[in-house]
């Protein structure tokens, strides 16, 4: 670490804690560059308030939704980014052809500001032109009626409200398809697939109160300082209470080491900070299963030696499959555990001891666990570890997947799934009077494959940046351009919008911060957070343009035009979102008294049977699993293969790049870098600042990313890290978790070739 390195433009060692004055400064910049200085303070203060809007930044809950504004740099960025005063108008489009916009960076595209008018692509001029809403709906309806419903893909990005998502699935199902690729397929699908098999429901089991009571937190593969910033307040409290926090992460993430709470007067004044992780294990990318198996092995061995380690009464009364699980762990050797995890047997014993001592443990996890080709099996192993000591369904304990988009969980709850249950479909039929299709539809990878094969003809996107978020741009981009029809509902311009099909429509919608007026008055929408709390959100800002429609109104507009004989009274639903919620209540269990209960501050919690030790699995028990082997079964080809992690910088929200810095990792003004362990560099004759080409090291793949600067970083050996979405070109579309369809964004085998020793100027 102290070795003198040559200086590389934009790379500086960051010494401070996460949060602190840097966070306040970054917030001030976000406000200044995006918003009207007069409106900003009031808007930010309405974030996550009882009568305000839900922060579009992340899905971490708020205590009772009535605390004073929970200060959060990245929440402020998400809000100011939406509430910007910059506009993308018809004049802008007239002056900028689609080909000229294509040459801009993703950062520039969104940076132009909010979309103001519904637009349609005009091939002759290669520009988007303004169009009337009704005319647009009419033409889309006409087109959709000509297509086989199963040739239409309905994409949802998890920012959509429960109301908009429910209407979208209703529209698609009445049209006749279950094609619902959604961002969850790239995110927590491994949770949605794995947890129901283990505990009967695909959601986390903890609440904020559990964090108050917990005795140990194990944090695996997530970066809360950037991605779930409001969670930092919780971790900060825990650490001050002396609760150990054990982290597994290949990268040293500053916020998991040290955090200064911008709300703590003392820390801010004294430039102090609180240590977060009590122990930090730099596991290899993809090495978590080995590590988890190692912890379980210690526990099982100690149980034999000393007894009293496992919660045997819980295991006997509540679970099945323990014997097979234990036999597999016994058969797993220490050598393979150490090799695959990159951690020692002693390291894992430290964790096992802490775990055995704790009466209530929470395991939190994110994309570092799910985005692997054994993502589902990883999630199940986490559940297994918790089951060993009865850590589900007791206060202070449980499993805590950190959800992504602020309402990705809610979208799922209200029916966005390509594999609907028979019970759900029969409720749709009873409530609405049409027969929905039963044939399973496409998830995100399948939808992309169908577009590549030319089988899918139309793509309708409720938000998001589908093609850029997906793997393998080289195949996915041209596939979108072959479509007959694409429709994008969005707030800002992005690259997927520019992949114009034979017919492409761009629909600007209201954001969360904005006032949504319909025929019966001001509307609110609802969202479900990471802890299954459903609550209302209503914006107050004047909409970015008078021509915007709400997401429910846009979906309903298309549906009415495409389904002239629809059984659904779309107009009535859009006039008053209470009516949509009434339909949701009639269709989906758990929403009893929906409209009444969202009017109480904080909303209500969706049913979570495992919290009461009720297991809605086929056997009625919580199920142990068996993780075959310890590795991900993809070694890559040839010597020198490294495992690539694609990740988010501190200044981005998924494909939205707010700015070019990644402060806590010491990167400023650039994103074209590869984080690499210094010993791995030396072994390959590479130096800090060298420029390399990265190549996917899997048979049959010639995917490349060129001219990337190598940066020495504290990262596990054999693992390298690059930014998403730039590095998505390296991720093969079919390199995924077969159980859940989640792309392995966090473990792509790659090889490097030196391109130049010359330092690249900024
Ligand atoms: N500001 C901001 N907030 C966001 C988002 C955003 O982009 N910006 N995105 C939202 C969305 S949709 C999501 S899904 C979440 C994502 O939130 P996270 O789950 O935190 O996602 P990532 O940044 O992709 O990084 C995951 C972390 O996993 C680590 N990691 C990578 N591979 C492995 C591994 O094999 N094992 C272990 N143990 N760790 C590993 C990485 O080093 C990194 O610290 O955040 C949400 N919130
Ligand atoms: N390599 C790699 N790839 C990844 C990941 C990774 O870790 N590594 N992570 C994956 C994950 S976890 C996810 S969730 C996906 C994200 O995939 P998406 O959800 O598709 O992508 P976003 O970047 O969140 O979408 C940004 C766009 O959403 C639109 N938008 C913003 N707010 C609103 C709104 O209120 N309404 C509507 N209608 N539109 C709005 C804007 O037009 C903006 O351009 O990416 C995945 N891709
Ligand atoms: Mo996500």
pLDDT at 82 over 90: no
Q: What is the signed CA dihedral for 237, 291, 677, 470, rounded to 10 degrees?
A: -80
Q: For the chain, how big is the Rg over CA atoms in Å? A: 25
- Left if phi > 0, otherwise alpha if psi is -120 to 50, otherwise beta: which for 260? beta
Distances (CA, A) of 186 to 12, 273, 446, 741: 32, 35, 12, 8
**What's the sign of the alpha-carbon dihedral 207, 211, 216, 222?**
positive
Q: Judge whether 320 and 623 are in contact, CB under 8 Å.
A: yes
- pLDDT value, residue 20: 76
Cβ(404) – ligand 1 distance below 6 Å: yes
Distances (CA, A) of 724 to 298, 510, 672: 36, 27, 10
One DSSP character per residue, 137-196 reads HHHHHHHHHHS-GGGEEEEE-TTS-HHHHHHHHHHHHHHT-----BGGGGTTHHHHHHHH
Cβ(405) – ligand 2 distance below 6 Å: yes
- Report the DSSP pairing between strands 361-365 and 216-220: parallel
d(CA 536, ligand 3 centre) in Å: 21
Average pLDDT over all residues of the chain? 93
Q: Which ligand is nearest to the CA of 219?
A: 1
Residue ranges of E strands in 177-257: 216-220, 245-248
d(CA 736, ligand 3 centre) in Å: 16
Ligand 1 atom nearest to 224, measured from its CA: 20
pLDDT at 400 over 80: yes
d(CA 106, ligand 2 centre) in Å: 12
Q: Judge whether 501 and 484 are in contact, CB under 8 Å.
A: yes
Ligand 2 atom nearest to 405, measured from its CA: 14
Cβ(748) – ligand 2 distance below 6 Å: no
Q: Take atom 14 of ligand 1 and give the residue whose Cα is closest.
A: 404
- pLDDT value, residue 67: 37
- pLDDT value, residue 65: 42
Q: Judge whether 129 and 103 are in contact, CB under 8 Å.
A: no
Ligand 1 atom nearest to 654, measured from its CA: 7
pLDDT at 64 over 60: no
Q: Judge whether 671 and 723 are in contact, CB under 8 Å.
A: yes
Cβ(647) – ligand 1 distance below 6 Å: yes
- pLDDT value, residue 69: 37
pLDDT at 35 over 80: no
Q: For 510-568, how does the pLDDT look when each residue is reduced to its tens digit (9 = 90+)?
A: 999 999 999 999 999 999 998 999 999 988 889 999 999 999 999 999 999 999 999 99
Contacts of 758 (CB under 8 A, 6+ apart): 691
- Hey, what are 576's tokens? 């008053």
Average pLDDT of 41-51? 72
Q: Take atom 42 of ligand 1 and give the residue whose Cα is closest.
A: 251
Cβ(652) – ligand 1 distance below 6 Å: yes
- Hey, what are 670's tokens? 């650039």
Average pLDDT of 422-450? 98
Ligand 1 atom nearest to 228, measured from its CA: 47
Cβ(735) – ligand 2 distance below 6 Å: no
Q: For 209-266, how does the pLDDT look when each residue is reduced to its tens digit (9 = 90+)?
A: 999 999 999 999 999 989 998 898 899 899 889 999 999 999 999 888 877 777 676 6
d(CA 234, ligand 3 centre) in Å: 21
Q: Tokens 């949509």 identify what position?
A: 580
Does an H or E element contain 354, and which? helix 345-357
Q: For 283-330, how does the pLDDT look when each residue is reduced to its tens digit (9 = 90+)?
A: 999 999 999 999 999 999 999 999 999 999 999 999 999 999 999 999
Ligand 2 atom nearest to 110, measured from its CA: 44
Compute how many other C-beta atoms are within 10 angstroms of the C-beta atom of residue 341: 28
Angle between helical axes of 444-452 and 473-481 (0-180°, round to 10): 60
Q: Judge whether 511 and 544 are in contact, CB under 8 Å.
A: yes
Q: For 133-170, how does the pLDDT look when each residue is reduced to its tens digit (9 = 90+)?
A: 999 999 999 999 999 999 999 999 999 999 999 999 99
Q: Take atom 44 of ligand 1 and give the residue whose Cα is closest.
A: 223
Cβ(341) – ligand 1 distance below 6 Å: no
Element counts in the chain: helices (H) and strands (E): 32, 31
Ligand 2 atom nearest to 551, measured from its CA: 38
- Quote the DSSP letter at residue 11: B
Average pLDDT of 419-423? 97
d(CA 383, ligand 1 centre) in Å: 20
- Hey, what are 114's tokens? 């909010």
Q: Judge whether 572 and 579 are in contact, CB under 8 Å.
A: yes
Comparing C-alpha atoms, which of 535, 573, 529 is closest to residue 552?
573
Pocket test for ligand 2, best of 53, 158, 459, 469 (most atoms within 8 A of CB): 469
Compute how many other C-beta atoms are within 10 angstroms of the C-beta atom of residue 132: 12
Contacts of 209 (CB under 8 A, 6+ apart): 395
Cβ(161) – ligand 2 distance below 6 Å: no
- Hey, what are 251's tokens? 């990268």
d(CA 324, ligand 1 centre) in Å: 32
Cβ(164) – ligand 2 distance below 6 Å: no
- Report the DSSP pairing between strands 652-653 and 656-657: antiparallel
- pLDDT value, residue 638: 62
Burial of 708 (0-12, 13-18, 19+ CB in 10 A): buried
- pLDDT value, residue 66: 39
- pLDDT value, residue 323: 98
Cβ(407) – ligand 2 distance below 6 Å: no
Count CA within 13 A, CB hemisphere, residue 94: 5
Cβ(514) – ligand 1 distance below 6 Å: no
- pLDDT value, residue 3: 60
d(CA 726, ligand 3 centre) in Å: 16
- pLDDT value, residue 53: 80
Q: For 157-208, how does the pLDDT look when each residue is reduced to its tens digit (9 = 90+)?
A: 999 999 999 999 999 999 999 999 999 999 999 999 999 999 999 999 999 9
Cβ(466) – ligand 2 distance below 6 Å: yes
Contacts of 296 (CB under 8 A, 6+ apart): 325, 329, 381, 384, 385, 388
Q: For 340-390, how does the pLDDT look when each residue is reduced to its tens digit (9 = 90+)?
A: 999 999 999 999 999 999 999 999 999 999 999 999 999 999 999 999 999
> CA-CA distance, 263 to 521, in Å (whole number)?
37
Q: Tokens 């775990």 identify what position?
A: 355
- pLDDT value, residue 266: 67
Cβ(465) – ligand 1 distance below 6 Å: no
Angle between helical axes of 334-341 and 345-357 (0-180°, round to 10): 100
Cβ(230) – ligand 1 distance below 6 Å: no
d(CA 469, ligand 3 centre) in Å: 10
Percentage with pLDDT > 90 across the chain: 81
Q: Which of 30-34, 325-329, 594-598, 645-649 has the lowest mean pLDDT?
A: 30-34
- pLDDT value, residue 37: 64
Percentage with pLDDT > 70 across the chain: 95
Q: Judge whether 544 and 87 are in contact, CB under 8 Å.
A: yes
Q: Which ligand is nearest to the CA of 367?
A: 1
Cβ(648) – ligand 1 distance below 6 Å: yes
User: 155-176: buried (b, 16+ CB within 10 Å) or exposed (e) per residue?
Assistant: bbbbbbbbbbbbbbbbbbbbbb
> CA-CA distance, 412 to 162, in Å (whole number)?
9
Residue ranges of E strands in 497-590: 503-508, 517-518, 521-522, 525-528, 533-537
The separation between CA 551 and the C-alpha centre of its own chain, rounded to angstroms, equals 21
Does an H or E element contain 721, and which? strand 719-723
- pLDDT value, residue 107: 92
Cβ(489) – ligand 2 distance below 6 Å: yes
- pLDDT value, residue 637: 63
Cβ(256) – ligand 1 distance below 6 Å: no
Angle at 270 between CA 269 and CA 271, to 5 degrees: 95
């Amino acid at each position: 670490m102290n070795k003198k390195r040559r200086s590389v433009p934009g790379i500086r060692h960051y010494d401070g804690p996460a949060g602190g004055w840097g966070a306040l400064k970054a917030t001030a910049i976000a406000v200044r560059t995006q918003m009207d200085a007069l409106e900003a303070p009031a808007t930010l203060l309405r974030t996550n308030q009882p009568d305000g809007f839900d922060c579009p930044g992340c899905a971490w809950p708020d205590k009772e939704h009535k605390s004073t504004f929970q200060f959060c740099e990245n929440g402020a960025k998400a809000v100011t980014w939406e509430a910007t005063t910059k506009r993308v108008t018809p004049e802008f489009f007239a002056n900028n052809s689609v080909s000229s916009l294509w040459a801009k960076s993703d950062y520039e595209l969104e940076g132009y500001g909010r979309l103001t008018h519904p637009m349609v692509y005009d091939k002759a001029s290669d520009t988007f032109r303004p169009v009337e809403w009704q005319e647009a709906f009419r033409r889309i309806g006409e087109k959709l009626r000509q297509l086989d419903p199963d040739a239409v893909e309905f994409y949802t990005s998890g920012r959509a409200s429960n109301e908009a998502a429910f209407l979208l699935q209703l529209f698609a199902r009445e049209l006749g398809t279950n094609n619902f690729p959604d961002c969850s397929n790239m995110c927590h699908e491994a949770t949605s697939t794995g947890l129901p098999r283990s505990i009967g429901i695909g959601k986390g089991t903890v609440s904020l109160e559990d964090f108050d009571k917990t005795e140990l937190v194990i944090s695996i593969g997530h970066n809360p300082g950037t991605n779930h910033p409001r969670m930092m307040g919780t971790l900060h409290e825990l650490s001050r209470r002396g609760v150990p926090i054990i982290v597994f992460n290949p990268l040293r993430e500053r916020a998991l080491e040290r955090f200064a709470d911008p709300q703590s007067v003392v820390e801010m004044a004294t430039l102090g900070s609180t240590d977060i992780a009590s122990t930090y294990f730099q596991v290899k990318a993809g090495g978590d299963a080995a590590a988890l198996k190692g912890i379980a092995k210690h526990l099982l061995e100690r149980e034999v030696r000393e007894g009293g380690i496992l919660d045997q009464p819980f295991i006997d009364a509540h679970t099945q499959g323990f014997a097979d699980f234990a036999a597999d762990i016994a058969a797993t050797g220490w050598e393979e555990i150490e090799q695959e995890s990159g951690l020692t047997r002693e390291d894992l014993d430290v964790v096992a001891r802490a775990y055995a001592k704790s009466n209530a443990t929470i395991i939190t996890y994110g994309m570092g666990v799910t985005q692997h080709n054994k993502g589902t099996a990883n999630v199940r192993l986490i559940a297994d570890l918790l089951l060993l000591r009865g850590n589900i369904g007791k206060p202070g304990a449980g499993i805590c997947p950190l959800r992504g988009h602020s309402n990705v969980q809610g979208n799922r709850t209200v029916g966005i799934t390509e594999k609907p249950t028979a019970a759900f479909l029969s409720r749709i039929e009873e409530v609405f009077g049409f027969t929905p299709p039963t044939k399973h539809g496409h998830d995100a990878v399948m939808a992309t494959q169908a577009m590549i094969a030319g089988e899918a003809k139309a793509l309708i996107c409720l938000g998001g940046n589908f093609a850029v978020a997906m793997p393998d741009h080289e195949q996915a981009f041209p596939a979108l351009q072959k479509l007959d029809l694409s429709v994008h509902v969005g707030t800002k311009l992005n690259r997927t919008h520019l992949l114009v099909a034979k017919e492409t429509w761009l629909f600007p919608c209201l954001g969360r911060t904005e006032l949504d007026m319909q025929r019966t008055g001001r509307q609110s929408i609802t969202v479900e957070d990471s802890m299954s709390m459903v609550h209302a959100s209503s914006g107050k800002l004047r909409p970015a343009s008078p021509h915007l429609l709400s997401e429910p109104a846009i979906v309903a507009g298309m549906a009415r035009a495409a389904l002239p004989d629809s059984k659904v009274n779309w107009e009535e639903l859009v006039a008053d979102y209470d009516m949509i919620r009434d339909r949701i209540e009639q269709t989906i269990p758990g929403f009893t008294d929906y409209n009444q209960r969202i009017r109480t501050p904080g909303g209500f919690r969706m049913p979570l049977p495992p919290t009461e030790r009720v297991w809605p699995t086929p056997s009625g028990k919580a199920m142990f699993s068996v993780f075959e082997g310890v590795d991900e079964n993809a070694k890559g080809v040839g010597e020198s293969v490294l495992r690539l992690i694609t990740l988010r910088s501190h200044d981005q929200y998924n494909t939205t790049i707010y700015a070019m810095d990644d402060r806590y990792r010491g990167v400023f003004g650039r994103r074209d870098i590869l984080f690499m362990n210094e010993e791995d560099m030396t072994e390959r004759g590479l130096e800090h600042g060298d420029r390399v080409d990265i190549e996917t090291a899997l048979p049959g793949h010639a995917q490349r990313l060129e001219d990337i600067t190598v940066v020495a970083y504290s990262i596990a050996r054999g693992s390298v890290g690059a930014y998403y979405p730039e590095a998505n070109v390296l991720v093969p579309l079919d390199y995924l978790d077969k159980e859940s369809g989640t792309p392995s964004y966090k473990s792509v085998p790659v090889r490097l070739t030196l391109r130049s020793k010359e330092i690249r100027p900024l």
